[in-house]
Amino acid sequence: MGAWLLAAVLASGPAAPPNVVVILADDIGYGDLGCYGSTVIPTPNCDRLAREGRRFTDAHSPSSYCTPSRYALMTGQYAFRHAPGSGVLSGVAPLAIPTDRDTLPKVLQRAGYRTAVVGKWHLGLGAGPATDYNGAIEPGPRDVGFADSFIIPATGDRVPCVFVRNQHVVGYDPADPIRVSYGKPVGEEPTGASHPQMLTTRPSVGHNDTIINGVSRIGFMTGGQRARWKDEDIADTITGRAVEFIEAHRHEPFFLYFATHDAHVPRLPHPRFRGKSGQGQRGDAIVEFDWSVGQILSTLDKYKIADNTLVIVTSDNGGVMDDGYQDGTATDASGHKCNGPLRAAKGSLHEGGHRVPMLVRWPGHVPAGSVSGALVSHVDWPATIPALVRPGKTADSWPDGVDVSSAYTADGSGRDSLVHHTNGPNGALAIRQGPWKLIPGSPAIGKKAAVEPRLFHLTDDLAESTNLAKKHPEQVARLETLLKNSVGRK
């Protein structure tokens, strides 16, 4: 077949499946982006996505903390149902996703996608009881459905402070083995508690263990000197790996799950971003995040694949100001509200804990410049993303995630109801349906006083300032039953 004929056949054949890029920010809140009303922090690349795609105003992370949120978005299952994935994990926790459980990347892999995770993992590694970072780390992202991986194992503030590429520590030196502990100290290295004079970034709460790059962390680490990251270079490193993945696989359908470290603590953006926001180190970290988004968008533009790529930008939980380091957030005078009009922050059942910015762009499919008030959650991704990219294929069934694709591309109203989760298998829950939201009360147990139920009408009172539980006991009773049934349902 001549080249011209092949080209003609390809041009007239069925449209190639779209690429999928999910950019998951860390701890960026509902009020942090310009397109969500921030007048302090410049975010031109996110704002561009809002102009070219859809901005959601009622999108929720599945939990108000990292690990359970990430577990749910990968598995379509509320994290409180599966204890290992339900709470914030240490850097030595085993892989929290059972390797026989279906996941979003596995579905896309079966559909012919090249899959990659780049950035923050925080879903555990290895078979347990404690991750061994010396040698091949099995099981890991590959066993969850990612053919390629370049990850921060846990968080920026937790040891080990190394990158793991395809399940091996990057820059590993067998002569300098890595030991990590979340119990007793290992090795002789200085800690924040023993050598505070060595710190260039001081903790405000906790974060008092091994000092790496002038920052005391959660947990103890020794060895792996050559492999340790420099916090100021994390965004450059992981953004570079994400861009390389797109370049290498631009001729085949690809799924990139790019989980940035910004704006999690410690907030140490590259010096070129320092002072670029009106809100100190945290704002500068968001400017750095926006730069990362821009690098991805310009790569898609460069290779002319933007029109055939579904891009989602959102956050793993609500925003937070002071989160354990003295980075200026405790005394911030900029007036910036990281969660905009919402009550509370990361970790809360109030909206500030889990209502997050979410931008979706897919030219020709998602109306440009549109705004959706549909109720959606990241737990819906395993049902929704394959439905968008494999039209006509039988929908997969997921424990809790539902197909809300019509809310992405048309005027769908999203979920009927949604359970909000904090942390742990028995972590506090709340329920949302329509305008109503219930944070249930609890009876007095031993020395613990009874807690009154809190009922809010979010359409009238987004800030959750008025508890309507006494005024509407019938709604409280109805939502209590709905929550019980939703939690009981598998």
Closest approach of Ca ion to the CB of residue 457, in Å: 28
Q: Which residue is nearest to Ca ion (CB)?
A: 66
Segment (H or E) for 48 = helix 44-52
Best CA proximity match to 45, nearest among 60, 33, 57: 33
Closest approach of Ca ion to the CB of residue 371, in Å: 25
**What whole-number distance in Å separates Cα of residue 424 and Cα of residue 223?**
31
By beta-carbon proximity to Ca ion, the closer residue of 120 and 437 is 120
**DSSP code string of 229-281:** --GGGHHHHHHHHHHHHHHHTTTS-EEEEEE--TTSSS----GGGTT-SSSHH
Residue 8: CA atoms inside 13 Å, Cβ hemisphere, count? 5
**Residues that bind Ca ion in the complex, under the rule CB under 5 A:** 26-27, 66, 316-317
Query: Nearest 5°: phi and psi at 279?
Result: -140, 40
By beta-carbon proximity to Ca ion, the closer residue of 144 and 345 is 345
By beta-carbon proximity to Ca ion, the closer residue of 26 and 400 is 26
Backbone Cα Rg of the chain = 22
By beta-carbon proximity to Ca ion, the closer residue of 102 and 316 is 316
C-beta separation of 422 from 489 below 8 A: no
By beta-carbon proximity to Ca ion, the closer residue of 70 and 390 is 70
- Residue with structure tokens 């903790």? 203
Closest approach of Ca ion to the CB of residue 427, in Å: 15
Closest approach of Ca ion to the CB of residue 316, in Å: 4
By beta-carbon proximity to Ca ion, the closer residue of 43 and 314 is 314
Q: Is the peptide bond before 18 cis (omega within 30 degrees of 0)?
A: no
Closest approach of Ca ion to the CB of residue 308, in Å: 30
Segment (H or E) for 290 = helix 280-302
Closest approach of Ca ion to the CB of residue 210, in Å: 22
Q: Calculate the alpha carbon distances from 60 to 163, 392, 413 in Å.
A: 29, 27, 14
Closest approach of Ca ion to the CB of residue 320, in Å: 8
Segment (H or E) for 430 = strand 429-433
- Distance from chain centroid for Cα 320: 14
Closest approach of Ca ion to the CB of residue 317, in Å: 5
By beta-carbon proximity to Ca ion, the closer residue of 262 and 403 is 262
Please give the structure tokens belonging to residue 164. Answer: 């793991």
By beta-carbon proximity to Ca ion, the closer residue of 27 and 262 is 27
C-beta separation of 233 from 272 below 8 A: no
